[in-house]
Amino acid sequence: MTTLPTAQHATAAPTGRARSRRWRAAREGVINTSLALCAVFSLLITVAIVYVLATEAFRFFQRPEVTFTEFATGATWQPLLGSEKKFGVWPLVAGTFLVSGIAALVALPIGLITAIYLSEYAGPRVRAILKPILELLAGIPTVVYGYFALVAITPGLKSLGNFDTYNAMSAGIAVGIMCLPIVCSLSEDALRAVPRSLREGAYAVGGTRLDVSLRVVVPAALSGIIAAFLLAFARAVGETMIVALAAGSLPNLTADPRQQVQTMTGYMAQIFLGDAPAGGVEYLSCYAVAALLFLFTFGFTVAGHFVMKRFREVYQ
């Protein structure tokens, strides 16, 4: 005999479902609030950093021994020489871009070629072995790269030519090795995201594997590859420990990679390690250099956004 549900059972089920819905809504509300708070916190940190850089850089330019014209156009950086202090920032800028350019020449082509091999040529077993090994490079502390440049790269360079003990070439090669995992991993992900139908269509019209890789897959993944290049270059520009150990501490306006140079981050590390008293003009000069470095990286990010948008529109 079938037993009809009583009124108590009929009302219990909807009440349980309503309670479950309220609990789910409350839980989602907590999650959404937490995510919003994290986003606001990140924004506030960014605003605080910009505020500190701007205010301290303004204090630096208010000092009587400093002029903005000398800072922007001067070719001599001597902030620690008593009454003969000079604050022309171009030697630090030249050293930064010389090391970063060498790093880009090392990391970008090797990383892209490796990514093409892993994506288009390597089998699953080879890829499963090589990719984790490459990504291990990202976990090595940068101070280890700096010592590696001093004890391995620099002696090798000195045996080939007239290189200083501290030189831009050694530091640039070490920074390029450090940036390899960024270029390789992100570029390989972008290449593997290209639809399989594009590859099959190219093979169907008689394309070789090399033709498909270079003429179909790479152009289709160009926005992701450019993003990897920009991220790696920004990482090279902001590197500190490698350049502080291997590039030297002599601000030198030169394009010769055999000579000693000092980068913007290397100078900041030197000052904040105690070479100048807190509150002095030398100490404040670090904030002006940091603000300039921030403007450079921000400009690279904006330019990269427009470049990636343009290539995405072309190849979609």
245 in any annotated domain: yes
Boundary of a domain, candidates 16, 38, 62: 62
Burial class (CB in 10 A: 0-12, 13-18, 19+), 174: buried
176 in any annotated domain: yes
1 in any annotated domain: no
135 in any annotated domain: yes
19 in any annotated domain: yes
Structural domain count, the chain = 2
| End-to-end Cα, the chain, rounded Å | 66
Residues 88 and 30 in one domain: no
Give me the sign of the Cα torsion angle 108, 109, 112, 118: negative
Residues 261 and 287 in one domain: yes
Residues 194 and 55 in one domain: no
Residue 4 CB partners (closer than 8 Å, separation 6+):
none
Backbone angles phi and psi of 87, in degrees to 5: -125, 45
Backbone angles phi and psi of 172, in degrees to 5: -65, -40
Residues 96 and 142 in one domain: yes
Residues 48 and 196 in one domain: no
What pLDDT is recorded for position 202? 83
69 in any annotated domain: no
Residues 219 and 242 in one domain: yes
Strands (E), the chain: 77-78, 86-87
CB atoms within 10 A of CB 284: 23
Residues 22 and 91 in one domain: no
User: For residue 142, which of 247, 249, 241, 268 has the smallest C-alpha distance?
Assistant: 241
72 in any annotated domain: no
Residues 135 and 258 in one domain: yes
Q: Which residue has the tokens 């920032």?
A: 89
Residues 102 and 40 in one domain: no
Q: Do 219 and 173 contact (CB within 8 A), yes or no?
A: no
Residues 253 and 119 in one domain: yes
What pLDDT is recorded for position 213? 85
Residues 208 and 290 in one domain: yes
| Measured distance CA(67)–CA(107) in Å, rounded | 38
* Strand pairing report for 77-78 and 86-87: antiparallel
160 in any annotated domain: yes
Please report, for the domain that includes residue 147, its CATH number.
1.10.3720.10
From first to last of its 316 residues, the chain has per-residue pLDDT tens of 455 555 555 555 567 677 778 888 888 888 999 999 999 999 999 999 999 999 999 999 888 888 888 888 888 888 876 667 888 899 999 999 999 999 999 999 999 999 999 888 888 888 888 888 888 888 888 899 999 999 999 999 988 888 888 999 999 999 999 999 989 988 888 888 888 888 888 888 888 888 888 888 888 888 888 888 888 888 899 888 899 889 888 888 888 899 999 999 989 888 877 656 667 788 888 899 999 999 988 888 787 777 767 666 545 5
Residues 24 and 158 in one domain: no
Domain residue limits at 44: 7-62
What pLDDT is recorded for position 35? 92
